[in-house]
Amino acid sequence: MSTVTNTTEGTVPKKKSSRKLFKYNPNRVAHTLDQLGLGYFSPIARLIGGDEPRKQFREITSNTFLPMLAFAIFIGIWGICAQFVVSDSTRIPSPAQTWTAWQGMVDFAEAEKLKEAEYYESNEERAIKMETKAKTAEEAGQLDKVERYNGMAEKFRTKVYQGATTFFDQIGISLITVAVGFLAATLLGVPIGILCGISKKVNVALNPIIQLFKPVSPLAWFPIVFVFTTWGIEQPESTSIWQRALWTSAGVVTLCSIWPTLINTAVGVASVDKDHLNVAKVLKLGWFKRIWKIILPSSLPLIFTGLRLSIGVGWMVLVASDMMAQNQGLGKFVWDMYQNGDTQSTAQIIIAVFFIGAIGFLLDRVMLVCQRLVTFEEQTI
Amino acid sequence: MSAYFETFKLGKTYKTPKGDAVIVKNFNLKMKKGEFVCVIGHSGCGKSTVLSMVAGLNEITDGGVILDGSEINGAAPDRGVVFQSPCLLPWMSAWDNVMLGVKQVYYHASNHERKQIVEYYLTVVGLSGSFNKRPDELSGGMRQRVGLARAFALSPKMLLLDEPFGMLDKLTKFELQKVLLDLWNRERLTAMMITHDVDEAIYLADRVIMMTNGPAAGVGDILEINLPRPRNRQEIMSQEQYYDYRQFLLNFLQERADEGKEERSAA
Ligand SMILES: Nc1ncnc2c1ncn2[C@@H]1O[C@H](COP(=O)(O)OP(=O)(O)OP(=O)(O)O)[C@@H](O)[C@H]1O
Ligand SMILES: [Mg+2]
């Protein structure tokens, strides 16, 4: 009896408050957070809304406590390894040493930034000096000198700083490389996938090639892509970021990451709802409209599944292809540190590993959000 | 006088591993312009097959279909189709779903005219507040309203409906039958509708076509519904005739059901 009255009492105020326009709806916020792949925060959102606080507390503590516990155990095992895994030339750095190395990297990057700023500042000063000299020369009527001074001022202004690349620069280069490779994979993979999905003949024709090249490692692709880029791309100035090595590395990323996009697009296009195709038939849509209005939107969820897998693969092979191509990215960083061979360098490699993992995770989350945005609720009737 | 719509010896044979399966055979039907015909029959006898052949979505294997003096060949927007599930494109709003077809049919019209057409039909089916809602935000009944608007907005020569209200609850069904009848009263499109609901058939149709049991189903019997139009549900239900029609159709369906049972127990 008491439960019955309880439930009715519980629903009455709810109905009233739902009339308010901007009401904090914990379930909705939590759902949105889940959708964004931030499910970790959804109990917190529910807690703010006062939704079963006890349960939310339990969830938050277990969500926070358990991963922290696991991470602590991981650090412990790492520490033990650092004690025992020791060779003549190198050893596994301890977590503390790694932390110090990280701080060193940050300091170095900051110092480098400072140096760069100073460099430009002093060049600017010199340029201004030259310009004043040019002016005095002009007043004196020495025209040939005016030209020379102005030329020198121009030179100082356009000089580009050529300091050491920092770890963070290299992350930037890596992201650019993977973006180029992934973009190319998308621009090739989606149209070819659509063709495969629409036409059985194209699918039959291309299937062996796809199956054959899908499992090939980036290390095997590298020499072949290298030939192509050496043949097709002129080496730019050393200050440009669009080095041949970047194109080579991006090409390897494309070749390794194109397959999930291509295959998922083909499957998505081939499995478009027959009812939706009937709509196209009844309306006698032309082939372009049929693809653009019916087939593409309907296969977008699967295309994005493919893209998400592709970017994962692309990021994973990037380090290897950067290493091979000597592209100024994270792979090069790892390679250089490996060549140094001391414990300090190994610590920096461990930092790089954490960054590679974190960035990969972020890229995946971004794609997950995109994927959820294009996935429409299927109609049930 | 030649008919506006005619099927002659329309037939469908599927090639199966066990040999040819003749689903529909010698389906002959003539319709006047602006006539509303309902088709009833035992489940699985081939009603949908006939309708989808007329729509051009299913290949015709025997005979042919003539609409407005020319033989049909494949699907085209001169035959608007409404299925049991509305088949709206889930990534488009109600407005865009209707507009897609309107753009295709009224390619010579101005944007403004097209907008007026879409707005008119969506309003007439009672969706004036929901133009921009996507199908997943609409109830089943509302989706089917969009389906009706989409079909009527094409101004087709013929309207083909395959159990359009079969999945709706009784109240929604009544509402939508009225929406359909009102629209039809304005435009008097030639319409063929499949239904399992005897009351629906009497309420809407000029004639009810009763199909024989499959295999090789055809037209069994035809019942003329001589109720005055425009019809009002309460009014026609107060007439004695209504119950005669109802009894006749129910008897027909019962007989087909018994036949089906006998066949199954014989086999
Ligand atoms: N591709 C096919 N190959 C063989 N037989 C088929 C095929 N498609 C449909 N059939 C058969 O055709 C028959 C008629 O199907 P149809 O959908 O037209 O029936 P229906 O009268 O609309 O039934 P319902 O009232 O249940 O909708 C069915 O018995 C079905 O098994
Ligand atoms: Mg059917």
Same domain for A150 and A38?
no
**Residue type, position A185, single letter:** A
**pLDDT of amino acid A381:** 37
> Is residue A202 predicted with pLDDT exceeding 80?
yes
Nearest CA to ligand 1 atom 18: B46
Number of domains comprising chain B = 1
| Of A283, A298, A379, Cβ closest to residue B77 | A283
Residue A14 located in a structural domain:
no
Nearest CA to ligand 1 atom 22: B48
pLDDT band of residue A8 (cuts 50, 70, 90) is very low
| Residue burial A299-319, b: 16+ Cβ < 10 Å; e: rest | bbbbbbbbbbbbbbbbbbbbb
Number of domains comprising chain A = 3
Same domain for A153 and A198?
no
**pLDDT of amino acid B203:** 94
pLDDT digit string (tens) for A269-308?
Answer: 999 999 899 999 999 999 999 999 999 999 999 999 999 9
Same domain for A111 and A193?
no
Contact A379 B77 (CB under 8 A): no
**Residue type, position B185, single letter:** N
Residue A5 located in a structural domain:
no
DSSP B92-135: S-HHHHHHHHHHHH-TTS-HHHHHHHHHHHHHHTT-TT-TT--G
Same domain for A109 and A211?
no
Mean pLDDT (whole number) for A341-355: 90
**pLDDT of amino acid A22:** 61
**pLDDT of amino acid A4:** 41
Positions of chain B with pLDDT lower than 50, given as ranges = none
Same domain for A140 and A230?
no
> Is residue A334 predicted with pLDDT exceeding 70?
yes
Same domain for A148 and A171?
no
Q: 3-state class of B194 per DSSP? A: strand
Residue B136 located in a structural domain:
yes
Contact B89 A297 (CB under 8 A): yes
Question: β-pairing, B190-194 with B158-162?
Answer: parallel
**pLDDT of amino acid A7:** 39
Is the minimum distance from the CB of B126 to ligand 1 under 6 angstroms?
A: no
**Residue type, position A101, single letter:** A
Give the C-alpha separation, A67 to B174, whole Å. 57
Residue A315 located in a structural domain:
yes
Residue B27 located in a structural domain:
no
B residues 157-176 lying closer than 8 A (beta carbon) to A: 167
- The residues that bridge with B82 in the sheet, in sequence order, are B161
Is the minimum distance from the CB of B250 to ligand 1 under 6 angstroms?
A: no
**pLDDT of amino acid A12:** 38
Mean pLDDT (whole number) for A5-10: 39
Same domain for A202 and A334?
yes
Same domain for A218 and A297?
yes
Same domain for A356 and A282?
yes
**pLDDT of amino acid A39:** 76
Total residue count of chain A as it appears in this document: 381
- Which residues of chain B lie closer than 8 angstroms to A297, CB-CB? 89, 91-92
**pLDDT of amino acid A21:** 55
Is the minimum distance from the CB of B49 to ligand 1 under 6 angstroms?
A: yes
Kindly report the average pLDDT of chain A as a whole number. Answer: 86
Q: Choose among A70, A77, A93, A102: nearest CA to A354.
A: A102
Nearest CA to ligand 1 atom 26: B43
pLDDT band of residue A151 (cuts 50, 70, 90) is confident
- The residues that bridge with A364 in the sheet, in sequence order, are none
Domain CATH number, residue A320: 1.10.3720.10
Residue A21 located in a structural domain:
no
Residues 6+ apart with CB under 8 A from A298: A268, A272, A273, A276, B89, B91
Mean pLDDT (whole number) for A182-211: 95
Give the C-alpha separation, B168 to B172, whole Å. 6
User: What percent of chain A shows pLDDT beyond 70?
Assistant: 92
Is the minimum distance from the CB of B236 to ligand 1 under 6 angstroms?
A: no
Is the minimum distance from the CB of B16 to ligand 1 under 6 angstroms?
A: yes
Same domain for A138 and A218?
no
Contact A379 B85 (CB under 8 A): yes
Is the minimum distance from the CB of B40 to ligand 1 under 6 angstroms?
A: no
- The larger pLDDT score, comparing residue A260 to residue A370, is at A260
Residue B201 located in a structural domain:
yes
What ipTM is given for this predicted complex?
Answer: 0.88
Contact B90 A278 (CB under 8 A): no
Is the distance from CB of A42 to CB of A56 less than 8 angstroms? no
Mean pLDDT (whole number) for A134-160: 84
- Which residues of chain B lie closer than 8 angstroms to A278, CB-CB? 57, 75, 81, 87
Residue A380 located in a structural domain:
no
- The residues that bridge with B38 in the sheet, in sequence order, are B193, B208
> Is residue A227 predicted with pLDDT exceeding 50?
yes
pLDDT digit string (tens) for A90-120?
Answer: 788 999 999 999 999 899 889 988 998 998 8
Q: Is A297 on the interface with B (CB under 8 A)?
A: yes
- Which residues of chain A lie closer than 8 angstroms to B92, CB-CB? 297
Residue A13 located in a structural domain:
no
Question: Taking CA A368 as the corner, what is the angle to CA A363 and CA A373, rounded to the nearest 5 degrees?
Answer: 130
Residue A245 located in a structural domain:
yes
Same domain for A138 and A286?
no
Same domain for A114 and A261?
no
B residues 46-75 lying closer than 8 A (beta carbon) to A: 55-57, 74-75
Q: Is A292 on the interface with B (CB under 8 A)?
A: no
Residue B51 located in a structural domain:
yes
Residue B112 located in a structural domain:
yes
pLDDT digit string (tens) for A233-264?
Answer: 888 887 788 888 899 999 999 999 999 999 99
Domain boundaries, position A151: 95-158
Residue B155 located in a structural domain:
yes
Residue B14 located in a structural domain:
no
Q: Choose the most confident range, by mean pLDDT, from A37-41, A145-149, A178-182, B259-263.
A: A178-182
pLDDT band of residue A65 (cuts 50, 70, 90) is confident
Domain boundaries, position B257: 35-59+76-211+222-266
Residue A20 DSSP code: S
Residue A3 located in a structural domain:
no
Q: Choose among B163, B157, B165, B150: nearest CA to B195.
A: B163
Name which of A71-80, A143-152, B236-245 the model is least confident about: A143-152
Residue B217 located in a structural domain:
no
Q: Is B104 on the interface with A (CB under 8 A)?
A: yes
Domain CATH number, residue B133: 3.40.50.300
- Which residues of chain A lie closer than 8 angstroms to B90, CB-CB? 376-379
Nearest CA to ligand 1 atom 16: B46
